[in-house]
Amino acid sequence: MPMGTSVLSLRIDGELLERLRHHAAKRGMSVQDYVVRTLIRDDFDERFQSAVEETERFYGVN
């Protein structure tokens, strides 16, 4: 299945947006890029943890 881009619109409060702007600026990124990178990292972490758990079940590690 080809990967494309989609638009996600969300409503957040002003305080959170300011924190996101601050975090993004420290990294020289736009808020959009910062949020996308954070979501990608979180998704990777979840998939990695699932793979570790599956491997442990396979090998009987507890």
Domain boundaries, the chain: 14-59
The residue type at 49:
Q
Q: How far apart are CA 18 and CA 31, in angstroms?
A: 10
> Residue 4 CA to chain centroid, in angstroms?
18
User: Per-residue pLDDT for 1 more than 80?
Assistant: no
- The per-residue pLDDT for range 9-59, each reduced to its tens digit, is 989 999 999 999 999 999 999 999 999 999 998 888 888 899 989 988 888
